[in-house]
Structures are given as C-alpha cells and as structure tokens.
Structure 1
Amino acid sequence: MSTYLVGQVRPSQLLWTYGPGALVDLPNLSVVTMGLDRWDVNQCLPVEEARLLAAVRRLLGPQVERLRVPPFVREEGASPMSAEGKIGVPVRPFPRWLRCVKCGLLAEYDSGLFDIKPYPYRPEQTHFVHSNCEKGKNADAVPARFLLACRNGHLDDFPWHWFVHGGPSECRGTLRFFERGASLQTENLWVKCDACDAARSLVHAFGREAQQNLPACRGRHPHLDTFDASCQESPRAVLLGATNSWFPVSLSVLAIPLERNQLSQLVLDGWEYFADVESADELKVVIKTLVKSGSLPGIERFDIGDVWRCVQERQEGKGDDTFVTEGDLKIPEWEVLTAPTPPTDWPQFMSRPEPPPAAYTGRIAGVLLLERLREVNALIGYTRVEAPEETTDPDERPPMAALSRARPDWIPACEVHGEGIFIRFDEEAVRSWEDIPSVKRRSERLEAGHRGWRNARGQDPEKGYPGIRYAMIHTFAHLLIRELALECGYNAASIRERIYASSDPDSPMAGVIIYTAAADSDGTLGGLVELGKSENLGRLIGQALERATICSSDPLCSEHNPSVDRSLHVASCHACTFVAETSCERGNRYLDRALLVNTFECRDASFFQGGGGGNE
C-alpha cells in the first residue's frame, strides 16, 4: 500500500481536535485518523503522571501500561522520503466519495475513476484528480462534503445511491452533483443519476424528513475498519468539518507534589527512566542522560547514593502509592493548593501566597500565585453528535467510542507548562450564600433545565447536576478569563479554568485556577502571575463584575429561563459570559451571572452584593 505525507498538525491537536476517529479537513484532502492499533508506538515517547495513569486504568482497564505523546518529526528539514521524514500518524482518505469540480462526477476514490497526485515536498498540495474528465484532463476532485453520524460514535459515507433512488435500487448508474440557483443552500444542491435520471435535493437529508430519507446506521468505525450491526441509533447527516462530528473525552491532572520529600517525587515523576535500573553505576548513566536532555529538572541536585536508595525502595514496593487509588482527581490538588505551607520550589510546581484583594476580604479567602505548573491530559475516547460531560460516569455522557479495536495498552497524552492564579473562596460565605431563598430558586431553575436537557438525550435526569456552587464559581471564572485576556497579552484560547466545587461536609471545595495551557512558549512569560497580585487582581475582579451587570443582549439575556428551552445556562450568552471551548471545562454550560452581580431580572442572588465591589 502506498503511503504519502499529506499534512502536519501539532501533537497536542491529536488529543483535542484530530484524534483517532476524527476527520482532518486538509486544503485538498479529507482524511480520518486511524486507531491506536495502527500507530507506531516506538515513536511515541512516554509521559509519567501516576495519578492520571491510575484514573485511566480505572476507566479503560488495568492493561493500560503507559501514557505516551503522539509521534512527531524530531529532525527539522528531514527528507519526506526518508524514514525520519515519514514519522507521523496513519490516516486514510475519508469520506470515500469524491466530486469532480468540472463535470460533477460523484464516485468512490477507489472506483478507478480518480488518481492521487502526491507532492512529497509540498504535502499540503497532495490531491485527487479525475484523469479522464470530459471537460478537462486531470480535473481536481474534492471530497463530497456530506456524511452520516450517530450518537454511538459511528461515522459513515453518505448513502448517495440510496438517497437519490429513494431506497434500495438495482440501478448503479454514475451520479452527478450539481447546483441550481445562486446560493449554496441545501435546497439548491442536487444529485442526479445518469442512468435513470432520478434526482434529489440535499434539503431532504436534513430536518424532520431526514429519518424517512436515510437508511439505518451500519455501525461503522472507519478508523478501526469495523461495523457494529447492533446499533439502533438513527443516523443524521453532517457536513464535513462540522464541530459536532468529533468530541474528545479526556482526563487531566495538575502535576502536584504528592510525596513527602522532593527526591521521592522526582523518582516518581521519572519512574519510566528508573524502573529497570539494576545498579548505582547504571543509575549514574541514566541521570547523566536526564541532565543533558533536561527531561527531569532538579534530579542533578541530589547525591547518587540517595537517589539509588530511593529507587531501590520503590522497586521493592516500599514507596507510598496510596494516592493512586484516589477516586477524585481534584481532591489531592485541592489539599496541596490549600495547605498552610504550599510548595514553593518544586521543579514542576512553584507557588507563592498572595493576600486576597482588600475589597473582597469577606468573599475571597486566599490567593496563590502559581509561577510554574504542569498539566497532563490523556485522551480516553470520543463522542459524536453530542459533546461529553466532564465526568467519569458513563451514565452521565453520550456513548464513548473506542480508540482501538482491542483494549489499548497505552493512551495518547500531552503535557503543557504554564502559570496560573488560584483563588479560594471563603467557605463560610459560600455556605451562607447557598442558603439564601433567592439563590435556591435560581438553582431550581437551572436544575429544571438540566433535567430537561438530559431527558431529551435519554439520560437519567436526576444525575449529573453540579450544584449552584459550581455554577457561581464557573461563571466567576469565565468573567475573569475574559477580563484577563484583555490585559495579560495571552491568546484568550490559551487561558483555561479548573473548577473546584463541592458542598460535601467532609471535603468542601470552593475555588478556581485560571491558568495558561499552551504547549509552546505562550503561557510561560509571567504576565498572568503579575496580574494575580493583590493590587491588580482586585481591580480586575471589579472590572469583570461591573462589565457583567449589563449585557448587550439584555433584557433577553438576563430573562433567559433554562426550564423553558431545556438549556444549561441562565443569564449568560456569547456577549457577556461565554468563552472559547478550549478554555471551558464544561462547554459553556452551568453559567448564570445573576449569581455574581445584580441583573435587570434578578437583584437578590448575587454573591458579590452591589455588583462591582466589596462586601455586603
């Protein structure tokens, strides 16, 4: 089988945008990323994060041995014909149907009517051509931009013959795609059979009548070359490049010090390098390599004998691994962030306490400037049509599709380095606010929308509601992200949130980390930490709250009722509260600015009474 380099993406994009089963819409081609079975695992470097690996194993099984970074070309300028230049992720053309841009011929790419024209040194120009086009030799052929997808994660070619002939037909004439009218609306897009002259508009593939005009789902996973005959979901037509064709299901943790001393933590972080070391002399060589490559910063400060004793203890099972059975990934992080003496000099986690803004002393209990942090993300599956909830409970999200045929023994992961601001709310103030009758009414309204939203998707309506505390902190995070993006100089999409919200009396949490999460140098320049200082943070919070009191979509925004349209936000919209999907851990759900400031419709439920500042 011939292989060609057809394009480039960043390794991190293979977790968030173009993972296994996702379509990559290149300038001249459309391809699907193949399953993990086809990836060259020898080109995927390991990532060590014990807590995250333990969480992945709980969901996917104990056979998962490693977290690994997707492959990438390590030699700049390597020839695309060499082995080094062909390092990457395997893909296959999809959809299989192509359209000639001149004569409108519609056929599969492997039907013999099309040829691929590779450009090894300019892969973005690789494309298919219709060699024998009657209107011009070697006319370009582009992907047919219609597909079928279902909630069970299946993806299939659009059934062109079925659609044109209104069901099963013996006719196998060639098909033509053509346009009628000046606009490209679906009613002006037509398909016609050359043999029997049957023709149909694409408008019948969408909307209410689509179920009568489309066949049942075949349960196809093109990235795995498998079919699931048991699928009972109704497929729907989607456009190539639609954002709802692939949603990643991922887990993430912050790399925080969990061991009692720094050496034990370093050995744990770099256990991939130390696991098979058999002597102190061999350890010297390993540490020398780590220091030279900068793979484990800080290890050079310790004596070889001490490192060797620590490695031996862990090899003998004496290391403290009790934390890896923790059910909630965020609880250990919360304990470190709220400790009386948080870590200040760990290689992957440097923090500095900061007094809370004076104007918000009764509301904000503490601020921690995170001068250096590391986040590790792992891709465990994906969904189609509907975005997943941020949950590890399969009952609270759409069905998750697999990344490989067999149960995987490794999972793609990536790590990002950056900086952040941790803000801890006063627990007593939050509890008192939760008991206010008007706040309870806002919670009931949001929960009604939550139940309707889950009912419409066939999920248990009584599960998954994060609570009004979460909605308040989540909205605060969005307002602050929008304000920070105006002043810190970072791309707004590179600023993310991590919410800590729990009303459990045994382990209450009320806080948020606003941090940079870029895989490159963006996010490590110190601008965010500088704005977290008391004099700057107080001003920014005041500006954010004042800006949120009036929305350009008011009064419609402030009067929005989620129980009516079964949505997951109250007084929130793109004009006032929503942020980039890459920044939000809940997909812009569970938001209500009336929980923070007074709005036109509600003036008695705000956590920060008086809108722009201070205590009650």
Structure 2
Amino acid sequence: MSLLYNEQRPVDPLGDADAENEKQVKHNRAKVGSSRPSSLLYTYGPGAIMDLPQFTIMPTGLDDWNRIWRRRETDPPPIHAPRLRQAVRTHMRAPNVQLRPFPWQPKRNTFSSEGADLGVPARVFPQWLRCTGCDLLGLVSQFSYVNTHPYRSDLARFEHPKCPGRSGEGKATRPAVPARYLLACAAGHLDEFPYDLWVHRGRRCEKAEFPFLKMIDRTAGKGASAMIHCASCGERRPMNEAQGVAGAAKLPRCRGRHPHLDAFEPTGCGVETKLMLIGASNLWFPSTLSIIVMPESAEEKASDLADRLRGALADKLAKYAGDLELIRDFAATAKVDVTGQSDDELAALVATALQPPPSEEEQDAKLRDWDPVDLLVPEWRYLLKDPIGDRHEDRASGLTLSRRDRDPQLRPEITRVLAAERLRKVNALTGFTRIDAFDRVGDVPRRLVPLARERYPDWTVATEDRGEGVFLQLAEEQVAAWEQKVLASEIWEAHRQAHQRNFNRRFSETAENIDADDRLRPPRYWLVHTLAHVLIRGMAMECGYSAASLSERLYAWPGTDERPPAAGLLIVTTASDSDGTLGGLVSLSKPERLQQVVSSALERAARCSSDPICARRTPADPEDFLHGAACHCCVMASETSCERANRFLDRRFLLDLPGSSLGFFG
C-alpha cells in the first residue's frame, strides 16, 4: 500500500502550540477535549468523528501519534499480551507490531502540568462550517478559532466575527457549527460533501471563482432537509435530492480519501458513494481483538522472549549471534532479562528470533485459515484446570482464581464454578470499516481501513482493563447429546436456512467460495450464548453493576483433533482504572447466591411479555434474522455486553417452551 501524502503539512497540534507560544500569541492551547480509553477504542478511534461541545474532530492515524510519543525521552511503555500480539500481527499483516497504550499520563490535580505533552492528535473534520447567524457555508479558514482558556477546553469554538445576520444589518459574533453532510464508500473512504459542485450541478459558478454559499436549514435533525444556496449566482438545490437510490446516482464517485491519514489512494477508488450524516452510527465500526490474559506456558514465554530480543537488539542480533556473552550484555542493556537462560536455551532463543518473517503468501494463508476460536482455546484449557489451593494468584498475568463448591440445589447441568477474583483483559484495535460492520466473509484485505500510512506499522493502540468474573462449565456429555437432538430438529433447520439467506444477501466477493454452514455457530453456542444473556440480566439485579457493564466470554465449540470440546461461559466486568472493580460480581459465585441467581434467571427466561409471539418466533422464507425465541423484553442485551450483536439466541434451546421440547434445562 502506498498512499499519496503531503509530508510538508503534518498534523502536529502540540508543535503548532509551541510555535504559537514562541510568538507569544494566545489563541491556541491545542487541547480541545478528553475521552476514556475504552471510548477511544470502541467509539472514537482513528478515523471516527468525535462530537465536542462546539465542533467535531477526527483522531488521526498512528503516524501522527508518533510525534507525540517522541516528545518523551523514554520509549512508550508496551502492553504485555504475547498471545494477543500474535493475532494482531496476523490481522494487520505486520510482523513486528507491538501493543501500546494511549499517550496519556495522570495528573496530581486539575492544575498540574504532568502529561501536558501527551495526547491524541486530531484534526477538525468536517472542515465545512455553517454560521448560525447568517447561514454562511464555508471552510474553517473563513472563521475565527477561539481557544484561550487553559482549563476550559469546552470553550474552544469557531466564530463568525461581524456576522451580518439573516437581515444583513447585524455585526455580532456568532458561533459556527459543522456542516453535517459527508460522503462515504463501502471501501472505508470518507470525504467532505462538495457543496459548491452540488449546488451548481457539477459545474463551476458562472458569477464568481469563489462563490458565496449558504446552507439554509430550518428543520435541524430531520435528515437531508437543508437547502444549499449560492448567493453569487442565485442557484439553489436541496440536499434531499442526494437521498435514496435516485439520489445516489447524482453523487460523485469516491476519490479514495482517508482524512485520518491525510492521504488519498494513488489510483483513486471510483466506487459509488453514500450520503452520510456526522452522527450516523454506521460511520465507523472498529475491528478489535481481545483476550483474557492467562498464565503463559513455557513455549509462549520462550516465543515472547525471542520476540523481545529481536526488537531490542535489531541488527546486532544477527551480527553477534555466535557470541552469547555479548548477546547477554546487549540484552541487559536493553532491559531484556535472559539471566535465567542457559547457553543452549539462549542459543535456541537467538535462532528463533533470527527466523525470517512470513512471506505475504504465508500471511494470506494464515489469515484465511484464522479462526476466532483460536484466541479462546488457551483460555479454555487453563480454566479446565482446578486452581492450586483455594485461591491461586498469578502475578505475571494478573489472574486470581478461586474454586467454588456447588450448591446441592444448583442445576446438575452446571458442573464447575470458578471465581475470577482478579483478571486482566487486553483489547487491541486492528483497523475499522465504514457503512457496515466488519463481519463479512473475505473482507479482511479489502474493507479493513489501515490505521497508519506505513504498510507495516510497528505498533497499534491497545487498552488494559482489570476486573472480575464468574466462570461456569456445563456437562460436556449432556451438551453433546442435547446438540445431536437439536441438529435433527425442524427449528434448527429453520435457523440454518435463515442463516443461509442472511449469508447470501450480504455482499462479499468471496462468499460464493465459502459454505455458509461453516459460518453458522453450532447449537451449543446458541445454548451458552442464551444462558449468558439471562445470567447477565439476573446478575445485574444482584451485584451492583449495571447490565451494560457486564460482558460475556463464550467457550462453545465441538471437539477436534487440535482442541478439546468446550461448553462454558465467563461473565466479567472490567474497568480501565488500575484498581479494577469492587468485587460485587465475584461475590455471586458463592454457592447459595449463585444457585439463587441461576434459578431466578431461568425462571424469568421461561416467560416474556411478548409471548406467545416471542416464544414461537421461527424464521421463514424470506426472513433472515439470526435469532429465535428472543427479544429485548427477555434475552437480548446491550451492545457492550454481547459479543455477537444479539445474534444466535433462542430461549427454546435453554428451556422447554410451549410447542417445543428442546430445552437443555428442561
């Protein structure tokens, strides 16, 4: 990938602020707002549009973040999660990607200066603004920027000085707001709406080289309802002409712009564009990977140590590979601890570190064969082991597990209970998409928008969350027998056909080469998923956390030669704060409390205020929804809790509902 980029115009807000300070000009203090790490990862990452009190901005690509990190003498602190790092490298096709946190440092108090040289760089986007006093539609250069208060970033705004007003007789200063229309394409490009060409129907204004435009909008919040007016020549054109199928034919083709990278595709794009609004929910979909950090095996530790050697020693590693004593000295200088390695072990580590990176063909094959379950298998294998003692703490991973006895009245289908008193969850951003979420077949190389201009970036942003959880394991023999019963049922056949229709209707260039049934989750996944949702609802009433703050980690797949069968779930709550959470969720793992939660949750799941419609919901042609007896009244959860966007849910697989006898719990 090679993008067209003007290196003479970098996005460097802190550098701009330094230049202004040298001139003793007080109008740009750089900081315009703040956000939590989780929000910057899942809602307002690079390429997204963030609403500030007075205008909107777009966090830039990771290349511009490097200027922020270079303001510190020390290297950015890495996030240690080798298993996640390997998966991220596969998805980003970059063999040396590291995981880094957001550039941020806590302050002692509100007026302290610690961390003032760290932050996420952003640009004003869109750069078309509209004056609220006279309806002037212009670029940011036509307005004045005001941001002089060092502790009130919410006062940063654009203004139209000496605004004549709609009557043409005023001289007041009026605020300017973003013009809310944009153009986007399915390939992930985003562009400003060409208002001047739109109002003149693809031509230039006959009266002025730089026409005087106005956006007349008296019905804000009602979609494309504005009128674009050229005061220079008198032309008018409503924005609602750009809506719908007929309007799409009037829009220009995509130019291949990536505003977060300040770059264009060298050969353009050329696909059809769609009219978008600034606040549209489908403007930015993150592609993330996450793991619960488990204690590392010996092989994982060796692989991570070899990777750290390669990153720290670089060219010295190949040059002095035969001199192990010198390698030890270099490693000590680079703060890579190899003191516990024998000469033979160190030689093996050096050999591993010197192995060439995989070729592009190997990367493509690995990515094509990659299964999301691969990230879950190591977690499941570890959770199958009973903790050493009643409370086992692993300081390296941050995981603390405790065994819990089963209450005699707990449903016998639940065979094991573990309390995760402390856990660490690491989340990494690998890219993003626009218009549609990243869940289509074969979309990895085509639709995933890069986070940096470099073809092989050396890092990506990640977050660490700490919290607690409750792990439940189901009886494998009963699950396997139940699964065979479901596979032979008419309800499952209806779900399978609905999934086939859903799969075929979702555009993908490679969909015809993949069997839709390979993408359908097995019945045990529907069972575990539905159970997790009803437990989240029940636990939220008891633990003190809202249902939206609880999330699921599902382990549900049939056994193969490479991995054991799984049927279990982990309900967790995490926080980005270093202190983690307060223990309200893990307290529900106590035998008597868990039994009450499970019984109450299953009892509530047997009834829904939408029954009998909900209880009998089965997809039939031409319907293609991916759920059965499930709705927002009984099972469905918030998007922060569900890993599958409320798909693959059916209460009939959990309990026997009227007209069905497929309930695992009877």
- How does the TM-score come out when normalised to structure 2? 0.79
Tell me the equivalent position of 2:177: 142
Tell me the equivalent position of 1:349: 399
CA distance in 2, matches of 1:398, 1:579: 31
Unaligned runs of 5+ in 2: 1-11, 18-29, 166-170, 314-325, 354-365
CA distance in 2, matches of 1:256, 1:201: 57
Tell me the equivalent position of 1:195: 232
Tell me the equivalent position of 2:96: 64
Tell me the equivalent position of 1:470: 525
| 1:107 equivalent in alignment to 2:113 | no
CA contact (8 A) 1:75 1:84 kept: yes
Following TM superposition, by how much is the alpha carbon of 1:212 offset from its aligned partner in structure 2, in angstroms? 2.4
| 1:339 equivalent in alignment to 2:385 | yes
Following TM superposition, by how much is the alpha carbon of 1:341 offset from its aligned partner in structure 2, in angstroms? 4.5
Tell me the equivalent position of 2:609: 552
Larger mean Cα displacement after TM superposition, 245-254 or 588-597: 588-597
CA distance in 2, matches of 1:373, 1:349: 4
The residue type equivalent to 1:504 in the other structure is G
Tell me the equivalent position of 1:36: 62
Quickly say closer, same or farther: Cα 1:517–1:445, change in 2 above 3 A.
Answer: farther
CA distance in 2, matches of 1:387, 1:99: 31
1:575 pairs with one of 612, 621, 633: 633
CA distance in 2, matches of 1:548, 1:396: 37
CA distance in 1, matches of 2:612, 2:97: 54
Following TM superposition, by how much is the alpha carbon of 1:10 offset from its aligned partner in structure 2, in angstroms? 1.9
CA contact (8 A) 1:149 1:237 kept: yes
1:366 pairs with one of 401, 412, 416: 416
Quickly say closer, same or farther: Cα 1:15–1:179, change in 2 above 3 A.
Answer: closer
1:74 pairs with one of 98, 101, 106: 106
Aligned length: 582
Tell me the equivalent position of 2:50: 24
| 1:152 equivalent in alignment to 2:187 | yes
CA distance in 2, matches of 1:571, 1:233: 39
CA distance in 1, matches of 2:377, 2:588: 26
Quickly say closer, same or farther: Cα 1:454–1:415, change in 2 above 3 A.
Answer: same
Helix, strand or coil for the counterpart of 1:591?
Answer: coil
2:665 pairs with one of 589, 608, 614: 608
Tell me the equivalent position of 1:292: none
The residue type equivalent to 1:253 in the other structure is I
CA distance in 2, matches of 1:508, 1:520: 35
Helix, strand or coil for the counterpart of 1:309?
Answer: coil
Quickly say closer, same or farther: Cα 1:562–1:108, change in 2 above 3 A.
Answer: farther
Following TM superposition, by how much is the alpha carbon of 1:243 offset from its aligned partner in structure 2, in angstroms? 2.0
Helix, strand or coil for the counterpart of 1:572?
Answer: coil
Tell me the equivalent position of 1:434: 483
1:116 pairs with one of 142, 145, 158: 145
Larger mean Cα displacement after TM superposition, 394-403 or 334-343: 394-403
Helix, strand or coil for the counterpart of 2:393?
Answer: coil
The list of structure 1 runs, each at least 4 consecutive aligned residues, that deviate by more than 6 angstroms after superposition, is 264-287, 311-314, 319-322
Helix, strand or coil for the counterpart of 1:335?
Answer: helix
CA distance in 1, matches of 2:291, 2:522: 22
Quickly say closer, same or farther: Cα 1:409–1:521, change in 2 above 3 A.
Answer: closer
Following TM superposition, by how much is the alpha carbon of 1:522 offset from its aligned partner in structure 2, in angstroms? 7.8
CA contact (8 A) 1:159 1:214 kept: no
| 1:496 equivalent in alignment to 2:564 | no
Tell me the equivalent position of 1:8: 34
1:415-454 equivalent positions in 2, closer than 5 A: 415-437=464-486, 440-454=489-503
CA contact (8 A) 1:370 1:421 kept: yes
Tell me the equivalent position of 1:614: none
CA contact (8 A) 1:190 1:202 kept: yes
| C-alpha distance after superposition, 1:125-155 (max 9, x if no partner) | 1111112421243210011122222221111
Unaligned runs of 5+ in 1: 288-303, 610-616
Quickly say closer, same or farther: Cα 1:500–1:132, change in 2 above 3 A.
Answer: same
CA contact (8 A) 2:653 2:664 kept: yes
CA distance in 2, matches of 1:321, 1:190: 64
Quickly say closer, same or farther: Cα 1:540–1:207, change in 2 above 3 A.
Answer: farther
Tell me the equivalent position of 2:83: 51
CA contact (8 A) 1:30 1:95 kept: yes
Following TM superposition, by how much is the alpha carbon of 1:436 offset from its aligned partner in structure 2, in angstroms? 1.7
Quickly say closer, same or farther: Cα 1:236–1:433, change in 2 above 3 A.
Answer: same
Provide the identity percentage: 37
CA distance in 2, matches of 1:403, 1:59: 12
Following TM superposition, by how much is the alpha carbon of 1:30 offset from its aligned partner in structure 2, in angstroms? 0.5
- How does the TM-score come out when normalised to structure 1? 0.85
Tell me the equivalent position of 1:301: none
Following TM superposition, by how much is the alpha carbon of 1:500 offset from its aligned partner in structure 2, in angstroms? 0.9
Tell me the equivalent position of 1:125: 155
Tell me the equivalent position of 1:412: 461
Following TM superposition, by how much is the alpha carbon of 1:39 offset from its aligned partner in structure 2, in angstroms? 0.5
Following TM superposition, by how much is the alpha carbon of 1:232 offset from its aligned partner in structure 2, in angstroms? 4.9
Following TM superposition, by how much is the alpha carbon of 1:18 offset from its aligned partner in structure 2, in angstroms? 1.6
CA contact (8 A) 2:217 2:227 kept: yes
CA distance in 1, matches of 2:351, 2:645: 36
The residue type equivalent to 1:5 in the other structure is K
Quickly say closer, same or farther: Cα 1:190–1:284, change in 2 above 3 A.
Answer: closer
Helix, strand or coil for the counterpart of 1:336?
Answer: helix
CA contact (8 A) 2:128 2:178 kept: yes
Across the aligned residues of Structure 1 and Structure 2, the Cα RMSD in angstroms comes to 3.6
